[in-house]
C-alpha cells in the first residue's frame, strides 16, 4: 500500500525530489519517464499541465526540487486514477520485471532471493553490489543460491552502513530485515512472518514508513538522443553491451541516431518500451 501522491525531498538524498507509490526520483531521470508515460496515457486529467515540465525533467533540472507549483501538481495528479494505473504499470515494467529477469539470469528462484534482488533494483545500485558479491563469493551457480544471497545481503548491509552519505546508512534496516528472514529460513516467504516488528499475514501489510532515500548513484543518467549528443564512458558501456547482444553499431562513445536505432531494436526484441532511452529497465536487461 503506497501513497500515489507522495512527494518527498530529503536533504542529502542523491535522488533529489521523489514521487509516487514507490518513490521514483528526479535525480535518476526516472521521474521524467514516469511523467512522460502519464502524459501519453489516454484520459490523463493533468497531462496538459504536466507536459511543459517534461524537458526540465529530462534534463534533471534540480530547481524542480523546490518548485512548489510542480510539487503541488504532482500531489494533485496522484489522485487521478490514470496516474495510479500509470504508476502501477510503470513500476512493474521498470523495476519488477527487470528484477525478476535479473534474478532468473543468476539462477535465483526462491521467493526470498527474488525479493532481495527486487529491493535492490528499487533502492538502487543492484548491479554494482551484485558484481562485488560475485567477485568475493563466486557465482550463485557455484556458491549455491542461499549461500550467495546471504553473502550479498551481508555485503550490501556493510556497504550501506559505511556509505559516505549518512542518510543512506539509515536504510541498512532493509538488509537487517532480510537477514532475519534468512535466519528464520523463510526462503518461501511463508505467511505469517515478522518484518521490522510488524506481523505480516494475508490481512495485514507493513505500515511502518520506510526511509525513502535512494541508493542510485547520482552519476547514473538515462541515455538518450540529445542535441548536442551525449558522450562519455556510460555511452561506451551501452555500446559495448549492445554489441555483445549482437547489434552492429559504431562504438565511438557518442549517442547518435545509429545508437538510438540499435537501442530501440534491442528494446523491441526484449519486450521493453522502444523509446530509445536507456533507462533503468534497459540497463538492467543489458547488465550495465
Check residue 18 and give its pLDDT: 94
Pair 239, 274 in one domain: yes
Shared domain for 77 and 145, answered yes or no, is no
CA dist., res. 210 & res. 171, Å (int)? 8
117-143 tens-digit pLDDT = 999 998 989 999 999 999 999 999 999
- Which of 10-19, 61-70, 87-96 is least confident? 10-19
> Which of 23, 50, 84 is the endpoint of a domain?
84
Query: Does any domain span residue 98?
Result: no
| pLDDT > 90: percent of the chain | 75
Distance between CA atoms of residues 59 and 226, nearest Å: 10
pTM, to two decimals: 0.69
Cβ atoms 228, 274 nearer than 8 A: no
Q: What's the grid cell of residue 200?
A: 505480516
The chain-wide mean pLDDT, for the chain, equals 91
Q: Domain ends where: 51, 84, 117? A: 84
56 alpha-carbon distance from chain centroid? 20
Same-domain pairing of 185 and 236: no
pLDDT tens, 164-210? 999 899 999 999 999 999 999 999 999 999 999 888 888 776 555 55
Mean pLDDT of the region 262-275: 90
Kindly state whether residue 127 falls inside one of the protein's structural domains.
Answer: yes
* pLDDT-derived band at 270, boundaries 50, 70, 90: confident
Establish if 213 belongs to a structural domain.
Answer: no
> In terms of C-beta density within 10 A (0-12 exposed, 13-18 middle, 19 or more buried), how is residue 129 classed?
buried
Inside any domain, residue 20:
yes
On the question of pLDDT at 213 being above 80, the answer is: no
- pLDDT beyond 70 at 218: no
Domain count, the chain: 3
Q: 4 vs 24, 86, 243, 259, 269, CA distance in Å?
A: 11, 10, 39, 35, 31
Q: What pLDDT shows up at residue 212?
A: 56
Average pLDDT over residues 219-228: 84
Structural domain including 33 reads: 7-84
Q: How many CB atoms lie within 10 A of CB 52?
A: 9
* Section 53-60 average pLDDT: 95
Q: What whole-number distance in Å separates Cα of residue 13 and Cα of residue 27? A: 9
Half-sphere exposure for 7 (CA within 13 Å, toward CB): 18
How is residue 75 written as a grid cell?
Answer: 500531489
pLDDT band (50, 70, 90) for residue 280? confident
Q: What pLDDT, on a 0 to 100 scale, did the predictor assign at position 58?
A: 94
CATH of residue 258's domain is 1.10.101.10
Query: By C-alpha distance, which of 75, 30, 69 is closest to 52?
Result: 69
192 and 239 within one domain:
no
Residue 1 counted as domain residue: no
Average confidence (pLDDT) over 16-39: 93
Q: Is residue 101 part of a domain?
A: no
Give me the mean pLDDT over the 267-275 stretch: 88
pLDDT of residue 216: 64
Q: Quick check: 149 pLDDT over 60? A: yes
Q: Is the pLDDT of residue 228 over 60?
A: yes
Establish if 131 belongs to a structural domain.
yes
In a domain, 223, yes or no: no
- For 176, half-sphere exposure in the C-beta direction (CA atoms, 13 angstrom radius) is 9
Amino acid at each position: 500500500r503506497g501513497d500515489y501522491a507522495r512527494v518527498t525531498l530529503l536533504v542529502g538524498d542523491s535522488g533529489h525530489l521523489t514521487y509516487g507509490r514507490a518513490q521514483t526520483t528526479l535525480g535518476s531521470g526516472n521521474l521524467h519517464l514516469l511523467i512522460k508515460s502519464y502524459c501519453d496515457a489516454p484520459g490523463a486529467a493533468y497531462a496538459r499541465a504536466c507536459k511543459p515540465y517534461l524537458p526540465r525533467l529530462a534534463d534533471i533540472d534540480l530547481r524542480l526540487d523546490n518548485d512548489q507549483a510542480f510539487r503541488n501538481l504532482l500531489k494533485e495528479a496522484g489522485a487521478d486514477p490514470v496516474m495510479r494505473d500509470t504508476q502501477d504499470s510503470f513500476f512493474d515494467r521498470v523495476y519488477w520485471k527487470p528484477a525478476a529477469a535479473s534474478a532468473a539470469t543468476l539462477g535465483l528462484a526462491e521467493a526470498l532471493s527474488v525479493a532481495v534482488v527486487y529491493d535492490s533494483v528499487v533502492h538502487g545500485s543492484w548491479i554494482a553490489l551484485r558484481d562485488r558479491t560475485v567477485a568475493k563469493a563466486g557465482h550463485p551457480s557455484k556458491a549455491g543460491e542461499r549461500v550467495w544471497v546471504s553473502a550479498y545481503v551481508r555485503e550490501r548491509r556493510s556497504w550501506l552502513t559505511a556509505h559516505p552519505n549518512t542518510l543512506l546508512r539509515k536504510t541498512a534496516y532493509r538488509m537487517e530485515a532480510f537477514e532475519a528472514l534468512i535466519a528464520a529460513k523463510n526462503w518461501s516467504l511463508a505467511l505469517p512472518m515478522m518484518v521490522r516488528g510488524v506481523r505480516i499475514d494475508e490481512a495485514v501489510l507493513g505500515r511502518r514508513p520506510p526511509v525513502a532515500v535512494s541508493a542510485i548513484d547520482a552519476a547514473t543518467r538515462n541515455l538518450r538522443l540529445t542535441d548536442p549528443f551525449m558522450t562519455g564512458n556510460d555511452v561506451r558501456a551501452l555500446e559495448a553491451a549492445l554489441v555483445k547482444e549482437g547489434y552492429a553499431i559504431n562504438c565511438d562513445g557518442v549517442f547518435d541516431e545509429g545508437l538510438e536505432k540499435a537501442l530501440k531494436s534491442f528494446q523491441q526484441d526484449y519486450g521493453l518500451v522502444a523509446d530509445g532511452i536507456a533507462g533503468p529497465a534497459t540497463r538492467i536487461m543489458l547488465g550495465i
